[in-house]
Amino acid sequence: EIVLTQSPATLSVSSGERAALSCRTSQPINSNLAWYQQKPGQAPRLLIYGASTRATDFPPRFSGSGSETEFTLIISRVDSEDFAVYYCQQYHDWPFTFGQGTKLEIK
């Protein structure tokens, strides 16, 4: 099973600041990585797939990069609506697996 490790567990930023979230995988997965945003009481929302393709629902301040074992989600200027938990997920091999999440909180 491919293990995903996200860091940091919690990231405190102020609105307008840049946020960088990391996801590392225990095996190379090419670009077979997705990112999700989840707010309390809601289902997750697909944010990024293919490591860098942004879903249409999300603004350009969100970007994804990386390949093989190192991936990054960047929020260029954090907006108040961005405070949430972010999960990475690999779909390179069965079983699909999620990281443990990074909570983006208001500083």
Partner 1 sequence: QVQLVQSGAEVKKPGASVRVSCKTSGYTFTRYGINWVRQAPGQGLEWMGWISTGNGNTNYAQRLQGRVTMTTDTSTATAYMELRGLTSDDTAVYYCARDRGFEDNSGFPFWGQGSLVTVSS
Which parts of this chain interact with partner 1 (CB under 8 A)? 1, 32, 34, 36, 38, 43-46, 48-50, 55, 87, 89, 91, 94-101
Q: Which amino acid is at 24?
A: R
**Shortest approach of partner 1 to residue 12 CB, angstroms?**
19
**Shortest approach of partner 1 to residue 106 CB, angstroms?**
19
CA separation, residue 97 to residues 20, 34, 39, 63, 69 (Å): 21, 10, 20, 21, 14
97 near 88, Cβ under 8 Å?
no
Break the chain down into helix, strand, coil percent, rounded to 5: 5, 50, 50
**Shortest approach of partner 1 to residue 52 CB, angstroms?**
12
Give 58 or 76: the residue with its C-beta nearer to partner 1. Answer: 58
Give 83 or 87: the residue with its C-beta nearer to partner 1. Answer: 87
